[in-house]
Structure 1
Amino acid sequence: MVRMVTEREQEGRKGYAVGFEGLIEFLKALLPRNEVIGSALRDELTMYPDLALRELIANAVIHQDFTISGSGPMVEVFEDRGEITNTGVPLGDIDRLLDQAPRSRNEALAAFMRRIGVCEERGSGVDKVVFESELYQLPPPRWETSGSAARAILFAHKDFKDMDTADRLHAYYLHACLRYVSKHTGNPLFFWHDLRCDYCAKLAIWLARYEDFDDEQD
């Protein structure tokens, strides 16, 4: 993930409430679009789900650390990914964002953003990002920290055969977490097939083979 050349930069000058929708539209205009052919009609979808973008950007605004000066939420668009960065590391375990109780540094700001419809009910943002990424058949999103900042990453579509083992296992881990918080029971593999998604079915088959291979190594 190397940053070499900046082709375009746009600095926001409006308030969060007034400028949020404009930012989303600006990003959608920048992102490539994929053509999807249904039963009779053609449709175009942005590279990343609108809902996932909205939730991640809203989270960056709500959870930023205002005690750190000189920086604010930042959205970067690359050929193969989009990154949303904010000041302040997560208050909880970054690997448990899906199932841990939500915490916010800025409760008043969070309540206001929910009230005006920028983000949805408390604690559901990460769930929606993971679900929408699965629905769009994207590699699993990732969250990471860098110094005093947190970063969320959405990846562009990648064929299943081009995903490495780490990506495939991370996808299954996030899916299992999503099932847990959604109170689904039974074998998690079944839900992949329920989505009627070729990508998901391949992941389920691959995981079964991976587990068999791992057992043989033991």
Structure 2
Amino acid sequence: MKRIKGVEGERLEFKSCKGAQRAMLPRDLWKNISAFANTRGGSVFLGVDDSGICEDLNEKDLDRLQRNASSLINEEFNKRPNVEIINHGAYVELKVAESPFYDKPIFSKKRGEALIFIRQGSTTVKADDSQKRSMFASASGGGENRLVDCNVHDSIDSDKVNTYCQLTGLRGIEGLNIADKLRKLKAIRDGKLTNFGLIAFGRDDVVDDHLSNVYIDFKYFRGKSKVDDDLEDIYRDRKEFHGDIKQQFEAAFAYLMDYIKKDWPVGGRLNKQTGLREDVYIMSEDAFREALANAVAHRDYAIETSCVNIDLYEDRVEMTNPGESLVAIDDLEKTESRARNPILMEFLKTYRVTDKSARGILTIKQAARKQGLLDPTFENISGSFRATLHFSSPYSTKDKAWVDQLAKEHSLRDTQKNALVFVRNNGEISNKKYCEINHMESRNDDRKARRELADMADKGLLHLKGRGPGTRYVL
């Protein structure tokens, strides 16, 4: 009997089809097809048992499997998945493509939305509530495709449209009127402006009239909390930013950075490329930019009851947007961003509002770690997503003074400083723990950690204790 090369995994499933008298489709085949369509795509091999052995089906059996599979694909699902049916002579392959975000989730019409399946490793599993919300939210386009009941020509600033067309290098627009250009830019649907069209190209007064909660609310609090019984006025400052989305972002970002530069200056350094001295602040501008860009780009514009909030406190800044994260919180640093509003995201990237690499979360975390600050926190709260950038260090004042002095004397990296403080408070450190506290995860990072520990031992800052897997470093 023929054995299939390869094993079952995230993108491959074997299905036995041998019945008592004739080949039959497995009763749960719809789960596998929908799971592949909802995840990264994959293939189902019909007529192959769990060990990868072909079941020696005859030509008539294989033809029947093809016909029945075609009927299932055409009739079973809420939206038809893209499946290629291939007869390999010994088995039938159903090659399932991942469905586009606007078609997800794929599920059985008979069984309804309660039974939505995805692929996890080599297993087809039921999607949890968070995963379902992510798929439905992504399919809705985060509200950017909602239609706005307003007159297109009276609502649009044509200069904004023409400027954007020039920046994108869009072809075939010469001689087109504004409405046709907007169609090319996916800003008009069924003859009406979409939310994206209005927030990107709308006149300022029209945006406010029709999308009253599409603005940024900046609040600077006097303490570390929104509530303080000792303060009659809890705000140092409060300001709202309206207009099109680019104007909102640029004005709010500049306003925030004015306070960051004034109230949290750290010092200065020499720029080796320009030869000029430049100011250094509590965290890089890129980190604040990415946090705010994330809030603007990924907010759910279908939620009409709240806006984007910037809450500045004496020890942190919180940026909150309507709509929970489409990616699990624990996976934010490892996974590329999933755009809730892909058309708006391209618009913001064109204007360099957000990072083209879609790794904004990683940029924020790296900026905090570089400055020796507490890691930023990200959380879903009651239908919203919040990013918190902390201004405090995980070190105590004494630890910071001690390690900063050592760094001046011995030219230490930030990772080495973290390790010294850890040893000071915990007695010893291993190579594994060094990688853990410094968020070093690759094989190259492991070698780098060994070199940096050895460097501190050579400088007399640490002493080697033990050998092999039991190696530790102490002060």
TM-score under structure 1 length normalisation: 0.73
1:2-51: CA deviation from partner (whole Å, max 9, x where unpaired): 31222211100122212322222211111221224669x97532323200
Alignment partner for residue 366 of structure 2, among 131, 138, 156? 131
In 2: Cα distance, 1:90 partner to 1:192 partner: 38
Other structure's SS at 2:325 match? coil
Residue 200 of structure 2 is matched in structure 1 by none
Alignment partner for residue 190 of structure 1, among 443, 449, 453? 449
How big is the shift at 1:122?
A: 3.8
How big is the shift at 1:186?
A: 3.9
Structure index of larger Rg: 2
Indicate yes or no: 2:290 matched with 1:26. no
| Superposition map of 1:81-100 within 5 A | 81-100=316-335
Structure 1 residues 128 and 80, CA gap change in structure 2 (3 angstroms): same
Residue 291 of structure 2 is matched in structure 1 by 56
Aligned-pair identity in percent equals 23
Other structure's SS at 1:30 match? helix
Alignment partner for residue 242 of structure 2, among 4, 13, 21? 13
Other structure's SS at 1:14 match? coil
- Contact kept in structure 2, 1:28 and 1:46, CA below 8 Å: no
Structure 1 residues 157 and 42, CA gap change in structure 2 (3 angstroms): farther
1:92-121: CA deviation from partner (whole Å, max 9, x where unpaired): 211110112421110000011001111122
- Contact kept in structure 1, 2:319 and 2:386, CA below 8 Å: yes
1:167-193: CA deviation from partner (whole Å, max 9, x where unpaired): x99x947824xx55xxx6241772995
Pairs aligned (count): 188
In 1: Cα distance, 2:451 partner to 2:384 partner: 34
CA RMSD of aligned residues (A): 3.4
Indicate yes or no: 2:382 matched with 1:147. yes
In 2: Cα distance, 1:191 partner to 1:112 partner: 44
How big is the shift at 1:141?
A: 0.7
TM-score under structure 2 length normalisation: 0.35
- Contact kept in structure 2, 1:62 and 1:109, CA below 8 Å: yes
In 2: Cα distance, 1:2 partner to 1:59 partner: 24
Residue 208 of structure 1 is matched in structure 2 by none
Other structure's SS at 1:7 match? strand
Residue 113 of structure 1 is matched in structure 2 by 348
Structure 1 residues 147 and 159, CA gap change in structure 2 (3 angstroms): closer
Q: What is the letter of the counterpart of residue 444 of structure 2?
A: T
In 2: Cα distance, 1:186 partner to 1:26 partner: 38
Q: What is the letter of the counterpart of residue 142 of structure 1?
A: T
Alignment partner for residue 393 of structure 2, among 145, 158, 170? 158
- Contact kept in structure 2, 1:138 and 1:155, CA below 8 Å: yes
Other structure's SS at 2:375 match? coil
Alignment partner for residue 439 of structure 2, among 175, 182, 185? 175
Other structure's SS at 1:10 match? strand
In 1: Cα distance, 2:311 partner to 2:290 partner: 15
In 1: Cα distance, 2:349 partner to 2:279 partner: 29
Q: What is the letter of the counterpart of residue 187 of structure 1?
A: D
